[in-house]
């Protein structure tokens, strides 16, 4: 008979490793910047998985109209086919970060060499388009593990996570449910995860910006909110 205490320890250990892998803010494997310590009413907006044609353009139009800066963690294979949208992000004053080239569902279990190659290819694409060094990385799916920890040793990124996850891309969500989830969790220093690839991306952003204005919150670019070195520094 295996003692119950040992079984409990193993179950707890596995639960911890799963938690550590799927929570970008756990900081067990990779040190990710996920929120700012501040009492100021200020947040950062971050968008993953673009660029995505008209949906991204609509988000950019709205950010531009409201004069709000954001960070876009782009997928290299998509950036490659839509360089104009990425160029516009930079021109509009937004931050462009690396979110891997393939964003493959298998990315978290790629071997280290393949992970490095995938991340490096995304850098190559983005740097060619933006003519700027890529300083920031966000892991696909927010998954961090020992493989990614090793892979990131080949780069000098600051890893940016989030503290407010919108689940805006989850099936069955509505604009209302997403906005409610986000606004309930906002606090000074929050980094909010959104996506610019959805048909509802612009509407969600519009309502979040309205909530932020109504509650006297300001929006800062993620690198500035988190006190990280910027391209311009």
Known catalytic residues? 48, 195
Residue carrying the six token digits 């509407």? 203
Q: Between 49 and 200, whose beta carbon lies closer to Zn ion?
A: 49
Polymer length of the chain:
233
Instruction: Round to whole Å and give the CA distance between 72 and 50.
Output: 7
| Residues 141/165, Cβ–Cβ less than 8 Å | no
Q: Between 75 and 212, whose beta carbon lies closer to Zn ion?
A: 75
**Ramachandran quadrant class, 216 (left: phi over 0; alpha: psi -120 to 50; beta: rest):** left
Q: Between 76 and 212, whose beta carbon lies closer to Zn ion?
A: 76
Binding mask 35-74 for Zn ion (x = CB under 5 A): -------------xx-------------------------
Q: Between 35 and 195, whose beta carbon lies closer to Zn ion?
A: 195
Task: Spell out a b/e string for 3-36, using b for 16 or more CB atoms within 10 Å of the CB, else e.
Answer: eeeeeeeeeeeeeeeeebbebbbbebbbebbbbb
Shortest distance (Å) from residue 48 CB to Zn ion: 4
Q: Which two tokens stand for residue 199?
A: 């048909």
| Nearest alpha-carbon partner for 74 in 54, 51, 90 | 51
Instruction: Round to whole Å and give the CA distance between 198 and 56.
Output: 8
Specify the pairing of strand 42-48 against strand 95-98: unpaired
Residue nearest to Zn ion (CB): 48
| Residues 162/34, Cβ–Cβ less than 8 Å | yes
Q: What are phi and psi of 193, to 5 degrees?
A: -95, 120
| Interface size with Zn ion, residues (CB under 5 A) | 2
Q: Between 197 and 206, whose beta carbon lies closer to Zn ion?
A: 197
Q: Interface residues with Zn ion (CB under 5 A)? A: 48-49
């Amino acid at each position: 008979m295996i003692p119950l205490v040992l079984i409990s320890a193993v179950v707890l250990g596995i639960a911890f490793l799963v938690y550590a892998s799927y929570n970008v803010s756990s900081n067990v494997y990779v040190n990710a910047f996920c929120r700012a310590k501040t009492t100021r009413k200020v947040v950062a907006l971050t968008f993953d998985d673009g660029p995505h044609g008209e949906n991204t353009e609509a988000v950019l139009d709205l950010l531009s109209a409201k004069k709000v800066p954001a960070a876009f963690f782009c997928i290299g294979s998509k950036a490659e086919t839509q360089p104009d949208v990425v160029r516009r992000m930079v021109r509009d004053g937004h931050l462009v970060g690396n979110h891997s080239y393939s964003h493959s569902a298998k990315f978290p279990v790629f071997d280290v060499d393949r992970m490095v190659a995938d991340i490096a290819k995304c850098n190559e694409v983005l740097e060619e388009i933006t003519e700027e060094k890529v300083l920031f990385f966000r892991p696909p799916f927010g998954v961090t593990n020992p493989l990614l920890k090793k892979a990131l040793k080949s780069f000098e990124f600051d890893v940016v996570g989030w503290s407010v996850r919108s689940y805006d891309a989850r099936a069955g969500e509505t604009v209302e449910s997403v906005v409610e989830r986000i606004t309930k969790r906002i606090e000074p220093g929050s980094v909010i995860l959104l996506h610019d690839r959805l048909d509802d991306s612009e509407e969600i952003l519009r309502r979040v910006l309205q909530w932020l204005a109504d509650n006297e919150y300001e929006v800062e670019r993620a690198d500035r909110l988190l006190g990280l070195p910027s391209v311009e520094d």
